[in-house]
Amino acid sequence: MSNVDRRSELARTAGRNTISVHVGEGTRRTLHEDVLDGLTRPSKELPPKHLYDTYGSELFDRICELPEYYPTRTERAILTARADAIVATTGMAELVELGSGTAAKTRVLLDAGRRAGTLRRYVPFDVAEQMVRATAGALAEDYPGLDVHGIVGDFERHLAEIPPPEPGCPRVLAFLGGTIGNFLPGARRFLAELAALLGPDDFLLLGTDLVKDPDVLEAAYDDSAGVTAAFNLNVLTVLNRELGADFPVERFEHVAFFDPERRWIELRLRARRACTVRIPAIDLEVSFLRGEEIRTEISTKFTRQRLAGDYAAAGLELAEWLTDDEALFALTLARRRLPDR
Ligand code: AVJ
C-alpha cells in the first residue's frame, strides 16, 4: 500500500464523531408550562415526557425487562429476525434514530448495515445529553469508519436539526419502541414531520404496539412487581423536586386501563383522598377531590388498518409490515407517497 493509499484508508476508517446540543433551559420551561396547562384543566393531565428523569428512565429500563411487558423483547426479536431484510430493502447508508437511548436495538441494524457494506452514517437523536455522548462514543469505537453525528434535542421541537437527506445516501429513520403511541391525537402530525425528513427513496422504520387481549395489555401496564406504578408515581416526585410542589405521593395510586373504543392504554394517578397541592414555581394551588385522576400517558395500540390510515394522512405509505408469530407488535417500513409510484 502506498502512502497515499494508506492516508485515504485512514480517512475512511476514522469515522467522524460529532455531537450537537439543542436542549437547555427550554426543557425546564416546558415543564412549567406543561404543568400549568395540564393541571388547570377540568380533566387534569400531564404529558408523559416528564416521567423520564434519571430515576424514571431507570424504572423504564426495568419495565422493559418485566415478564408482563412484552413490547421491548418482541420488537427486538422482530428486528433480529428481519434486520438483513430491512437493510436489503432500504439500502441503508444512513440510520437516523429518534429516542436512541443506549442504542441496544440499534446495534442489530448497524450490524446488518455493516454486513451489507452499505452503512456510512449513524445519527442518534435523544433528549438525554449524557446518553447521546456515551452512545456516540461507544459506537464510533465499535464501528470503525462509521460517521456518528449525535443530536441532543427534544423530538417535538428540534427535528429540523437533523441534517437533510443526501441523494445517493439512502436513509432509514427509525422510531422504535412504540413511542408513537404516546402522541395521539398528534400522531398524524408527527408522522408528517417525520415524512419531511425523508427523501423520495428513504424509509421510516416505525415500531407500534398492536391491539390484543385487554388482559394482556393491562398486565403490561400494571405489573405484579409494581414497577410501572412506581414509574407513574415518580412524576409527582419530579414536580415536587423541580417546581417545589408538595404532592403527598403516598396519597396517589397508579391506575392503568385499556379503553376499547379509542384502543389505547391510559395511565392515571388517582387521589385516594381529597387534597390541595401547592406548586410555588408556577404560583398555583390545585385541589383534588377524592378519587380524582390525572392522566399521565396514553399508549395507542394499532392495527394494520389504523396505521395505514395514519400513514396515508401523513403523506406516507406502508411498504413492509413485519410482525412476530403472535402478532403482538409490528415494525413497519413506510415511505413518502409519491404520485408517480
Ligand atoms: C415508551 C411510550 C413505548 O407506551 O409502552 C411503558 C411507555 N409506560 N409502561 C409504552 C410505558 C408504561 C412505553 N413507551
Separation CA 182–CA 209 (nearest Å): 11
CB count, 10 Å around CB of 20? Answer: 15
Q: Which of 172, 178, 175 is nearest to 72 (CA)?
A: 178
- Atom in ligand 1 nearest the alpha carbon of residue 232: 12
- Atom in ligand 1 nearest the alpha carbon of residue 220: 9
What distance, in Å, lies between the first and last C-alpha atoms of the chain?
A: 46
- Give CB contacts under 8 A, 24+ apart, made by 101-105: 101/126, 101/128, 101/131, 101/135, 102/131, 102/134, 102/135, 103/135, 103/138, 103/139, 104/76, 105/75, 105/76, 105/79, 105/176
Nearest CA to ligand 1 atom 2: 179
- Taking the mean position of all CA atoms in its chain, how far away is CA 157? 14
Q: Distance from the CA of 146 to the center of ligand 1, in angstroms?
A: 31
Residue 13 has pLDDT above 50, yes or no: no
Pocket of ligand 1 (CB under 6 A): 63, 71, 177-179, 181-182, 221, 228, 297, 299
Separation CA 299–CA 136 (nearest Å): 29
Q: What is the pTM of this model?
A: 0.92
20 or 290, greater pLDDT:
290
* Helix, strand, coil percent content, the chain, rounded in steps of 5: 40, 25, 35
Separation CA 336–CA 341 (nearest Å): 10
Least confident of 19-28, 141-150, 170-179, 240-249: 19-28
Q: Is the dihedral of CA 333, 334, 340, 341 positive or negative?
A: positive
- Atom in ligand 1 nearest the alpha carbon of residue 177: 3
The three three-digit cell numbers of residue 223, written as one number: 405489573
Alpha helices in the chain (DSSP H): 3-13, 25-39, 54-65, 71-90, 106-116, 129-142, 187-195, 214-220, 227-243, 304-313
Confidence grade of residue 131 (pLDDT, cut at 50, 70, 90): confident
Q: Distance from the CA of 147 to the center of ligand 1, in angstroms?
A: 30
Confidence grade of residue 16 (pLDDT, cut at 50, 70, 90): confident
- Taking the mean position of all CA atoms in its chain, how far away is CA 124? 12
Confidence grade of residue 166 (pLDDT, cut at 50, 70, 90): confident
- Taking the mean position of all CA atoms in its chain, how far away is CA 58? 15
- Write out pLDDT tens, residues 209-239: 999 999 999 999 999 999 999 999 999 999 9
Nearest CA to ligand 1 atom 13: 179
Answer whether 174's CB lies under 8 Å from 106's CB: yes
Return the pLDDT at 12.
42
Confidence grade of residue 9 (pLDDT, cut at 50, 70, 90): very low
Among 59, 60, 98, 295, name the best residue to mutate to test ligand 1's pocket (greatest count of ligand atoms within 8 A of Cβ).
Answer: 60
Separation CA 51–CA 296 (nearest Å): 8
- Write out pLDDT tens, residues 79-125: 999 999 999 999 999 999 998 776 778 899 999 999 999 999 999 99
Among 299, 302, 328, 329, name the best residue to mutate to test ligand 1's pocket (greatest count of ligand atoms within 8 A of Cβ).
Answer: 299
Nearest CA to ligand 1 atom 4: 299
DSSP three-state, residue 323: strand
- Write out pLDDT tens, residues 28-61: 668 999 999 999 999 999 999 899 888 998 999 9
Q: Distance from the CA of 267 to the center of ligand 1, in angstroms?
A: 10
- Write out pLDDT tens, residues 250-259: 999 999 999 9
Nearest CA to ligand 1 atom 1: 179
Q: Distance from the CA of 189 to the center of ligand 1, in angstroms?
A: 20
Work out the mean pLDDT of the chain and round it to a whole number.
92
Return the pLDDT at 165.
86
Percent of the chain with pLDDT over 90: 78
Q: Distance from the CA of 70 to the center of ligand 1, in angstroms?
A: 11
Q: Which of 209, 214, 195, 134 is nearest to 334 (CA)?
A: 195
Separation CA 284–CA 328 (nearest Å): 42
When pLDDT is averaged across residues 287-311 and rounded to a whole number, the result is 97
30 or 276, greater pLDDT:
276
Q: Distance from the CA of 300 to the center of ligand 1, in angstroms?
A: 10
When pLDDT is averaged across residues 133-138 and rounded to a whole number, the result is 90
- Atom in ligand 1 nearest the alpha carbon of residue 231: 12
Q: State the DSSP string of 13-75.
A: HS--EEEEE--SHHHHHHHHHHHHHHHTSSS-B--GGGG-SHHHHHHHHHHHHSSS--HHHHH
46 or 15, greater pLDDT:
46
